[in-house]
Amino acid sequence: MTTIISNPVDFNVEDLYVDLRPSLGCRVFLKCEGFNFAGSIKLKAAAEMVEAKERSGEIRAGGTLIESSSGNMGVALSIVAASHGYRFVCVTDVRCTPNARRLMETLGSEVHVVTEPDPRGGFLGARLARVQELLEKNSDYLWLNQYANPGNWTAHYRTTAPAIAKAFPEVDVLFIGAGTTGTLMGCANYFRENLPSVTVVAVDTVGSVTFGGQPGPRLIPGLGTGVRPQILDASLVDDVVHVAEPDTVRMCHRLVDHGFLFGGSTGTVLSGALAWLERRGQEAEELTAVAVSPDFGGSYLETIYDDGWLTHSYGPGPLGL
């Protein structure tokens, strides 16, 4: 079937899954969300949040949007803003990959890079503080606030979750990474209402405070937060797995050895999924497990796929790659 579009927001592959048994030896089906013009799952939420502001009359042609992002949401909003005729200002930090920053700037966005973390809220806290500074100086800016915006999760309630349920009506367990928790909350709400037997497992990073963990340094953008997202309802989550960044890197390299180049968030989600399934032993063989991959690895060639960056970030000790 031929697909013809006139707006980059109108294209997204929703039904591609990778059977990871040949690569990882376990029965996990990976939903690949990077096949769109933004290259990540964030395009869904970006479009939903902006279009909701249009419907409410809060943003008009030529207006300026502002958001905090570690990378993918910034790229997605750059595309949505450009296609809708808006200016976009992204506040990111030094962990944002060079590729993501260049993409945003190429799409016409203004990028502010925070270089020092907030003592209590980490880089996210510092980014949010910079957003507030810019809002005070520019009264015409509209902050989308993905951390509290219901459009961040309703996008996945309407699209991602139903697509999984349609493809795998027998799904037993669903693994979703926790960043802003938009994907997590959209899927958790959908399955709680429609297939409550599904176990929803959130995968977070060590050093993230999202589920009450101790704050710590995190070098890989995407998952984890230094400030708990307001849209999170932890009562909808059945279990939480925390993954250390070296394990994220090991998983990404394990997958690339089989020809699959995925991003850091995917490595984290799959490392957590395997740990969760391995703890269940033989029982896991009977489960139908689905995991969500937010993006691919092209933006991470200078970080998690670069030997120099790995040595600088984690030391010369072996990562088992």
Is the pLDDT at 46 greater than 70? The verdict is yes
Its sign, for the CA torsion 43, 47, 50, 56, is negative
Is the pLDDT at 284 greater than 70? The verdict is yes
pLDDT in tens, 169-223: 999 999 999 999 999 999 999 999 999 999 999 999 999 999 998 999 999 998 9
Query: Pick from 221, 188, 223, 218: which is nearest to 203 by CA?
Result: 223
Residue type, 8: P
Q: From the CA atom positions of the chain, what is the Rg in Å?
A: 19
Q: Are 72 and 43 in contact (CB under 8 A)?
A: no
The CA-atom distances, in angstroms, between 300 and each of 16, 80, 167, 267, 286 are 22, 23, 29, 12, 34
- Percent of the chain at pLDDT > 70 equals 100
CA distance 259 to 219: 24
Neighbours of 132 (CB within 10 A): 12
Q: What is the mean pLDDT of the chain?
A: 95
CA distance 230 to 6: 35
Is the pLDDT at 90 greater than 80? The verdict is yes
Helix (H, G, I), strand (E, B) or coil at 113: strand
Average pLDDT over residues 245-253: 97
Q: pLDDT band at residue 61, thresholds of 50, 70 and 90?
A: confident
Hey, what CATH topology would domain 8-35+150-314 get? Rossmann fold (3.40.50)
Residues 6+ apart with CB under 8 A from 26: 20, 273, 274, 277, 278, 284, 289
Q: pLDDT band at residue 242, thresholds of 50, 70 and 90?
A: very high
Q: Do 8-35+150-314 and 42-143 fold alike per CATH? A: yes
User: Alpha-carbon dihedral of residues 220, 224, 229, 232, nearest 10 degrees?
Assistant: 140
Q: pLDDT band at residue 320, thresholds of 50, 70 and 90?
A: confident
Average pLDDT over residues 100-123: 95
What is the pairing mode between strands 199-205 and 289-293? unpaired
- CATH assignment of 42-143, among 3.30.70.60, 3.40.50.170, 3.40.50.1100, 3.40.50.1000: 3.40.50.1100
CA distance 255 to 20: 9
CA distance 52 to 58: 9
Is the pLDDT at 64 greater than 90? The verdict is yes
Structure tokens at 157: 């309630």
- Domain boundaries defined on the chain: 8-35+150-314, 42-143
Predicted confidence at residue 318, as pLDDT, reads 67
